Structure 1
Amino acid sequence: MKRTREIEKESEIKSAIEELSMLIKLKPTGDNHDRTTVHIPTKPFIYVCSLVIQVLDKIGPTMTVLRQDIDQNIQKEANEGGARKGASCSKASVWLARSLDFTVALLQRLVADPGQEMEKLVEESYNITLKPWHGWISSAAYKVALKLVPDNKTLINLLMPKDETYDTLKEDMQTLISLLVPFLEEIHSVLILYGLDKLKST
């Protein structure tokens, strides 16, 4: 598959930047969004989430719970389509969006303070994005995973492609953040529109 080969040639971050940039170029102009036309762009949404999974795979067993959760939600979203096609798919959309919220929060903190302990960066990101929606089972699983988070240098090395400098990686992360934030704002506005924004887990 062409897209798989392309991902192998470049970093997940660069691939996500390319996908989101393409989405912006193809997005219709004008202010003609109403309740009947508002939707989540499923294919780009799933693709960007799948890139997050590849990053989690690089980190190793530390993020297994989050990785499995994202993967299951991608399968639901891909198999069932848009938010109007059932509760299962609607929940998948909500949790995929929140997983990307967590990713953005973590990248923002990593860019702002690369010297900060990774465990603290992950905890801060979790507290503002996922924790408000997690019940005690999910919170307990997170606490176990937090103990296994790699250090900053290890994570940065995993994210950085060969022959690339940290400055280039930092620039890529900032670009990705600048594209993901408005993309997620649109997705959350759709979730609010359909009354899905308050959904909690066990």
Structure 2
Amino acid sequence: MAQGGDKEWIESCEIMVAIEELSLLKNGVEKKLSTMAFLHLSNLLLRVLDKIGPTMSVLSLDIRRNIERLEEMYLLDPSSNSSLMEIVEKEVKEGTVRKADSCSRAILWLSRSLDFTVALLDGLEKDSEQSLNQIIEEAYKTTLGLWHGWIASAAYKIALQLTPDREVFVGLLMGKDKDIAKFEGEIYKLVTLIQPFLHEIHELMKKYRLERLKST
């Protein structure tokens, strides 16, 4: 908002918001990724994913459900559920870690959705010639597609037909900042910030042999 009573809406770039907030998270994370930090990261990336529109509605709904499940667990006892490791270890001891409604599965699928989003953003930054449809398809094949069964894969193929033009998507992410070189640099920085978080989660999943669980 401008000084002197004149209101001026400044459209914040989603990428810049994510970078700023992830930088703060990075400075606060020690050896274990906190549950709140992971939930925060998931919500940040969901905002970026939502810019694609109806194409990602099924995936976005799945992400929201997993976020809600993890939030509910955290709020039951914030002190004992403060880190992802604590939540997974608790479910391992209870024998519920592989159940369909476990928080461990929610963590696994959220991390895979984040992998997909990172691959999508990475594709945007590295190849200016590819259409958004091509970038999404490649990102899906190398991330979520590895773990989806035929039902989920079929739903994805139908949704892919609704992908907007690359220019429209990039424009929505950039907001009023039309400097494409700066935008691509911001994507690179965002991906670089996210990767350490995802690496930690993947290592946690491997430790308890959850990394190869698939959907139907």
- TM-based fold match above 0.5: yes
Structure 1's consecutive aligned runs of 4 or more residues displaced over 6 angstroms after TM superposition are: none
State whether structure 2 residue 54 is matched by structure 1 residue 52: no
- In the TM superposition, what are the counterparts of 1:138-149 in structure 2 within 5 Å? 138-149=152-163
- Cα offset, 1:78, TM superposition: 1.0
Provide the C-alpha distance between the structure 1 equivalents of 2:58 and 2:197, rounded to a whole number of angstroms.
25
For residue 100 of structure 1, what is the aligned residue in structure 2? 114
- In the TM superposition, what are the counterparts of 1:13-92 in structure 2 within 5 Å? 13-28=15-30, 39-81=32-74, 82-86=87-91, 87=97, 88-92=102-106
Quote the sequence identity (%): 46
Structure 1 runs not aligned, ≥5 long: 1-7, 34-38
Q: Is the 8 A contact 1:40 1:190 kept in 2?
A: no
Provide the C-alpha distance between the structure 1 equivalents of 2:210 and 2:20, rounded to a whole number of angstroms.
29
Provide the C-alpha distance between the structure 1 equivalents of 2:169 and 2:128, rounded to a whole number of angstroms.
10
Length-normalised TM-score, structure 1: 0.85
- Judged with a 3 Å threshold, the aligned counterparts in structure 2 of structure 1 residues 19 and 83 are, in CA distance, closer, same or farther, namely farther
**SS of aligned partner of 1:199:** coil
Provide the C-alpha distance between the structure 1 equivalents of 2:90 and 2:178, rounded to a whole number of angstroms.
43
In angstroms, what is the RMSD of aligned CA positions? Answer: 1.8
Provide the C-alpha distance between the structure 2 equivalents of 1:79 and 1:54, rounded to a whole number of angstroms.
20
Aligned to 1:153, which of 147, 160, 167?
A: 167
- Cα offset, 1:50, TM superposition: 1.0
- Cα offset, 1:9, TM superposition: 6.2
Structure 2 runs not aligned, ≥5 long: 1-9, 75-86, 92-96
Aligned to 1:135, which of 124, 149, 156?
A: 149
**SS of aligned partner of 1:10:** coil
**SS of aligned partner of 1:124:** helix
**SS of aligned partner of 2:51:** helix
For residue 36 of structure 1, what is the aligned residue in structure 2? none
Residues matched between the structures, number? 186
Radius of gyration: which is bigger? 2
- Cα offset, 1:195, TM superposition: 1.9
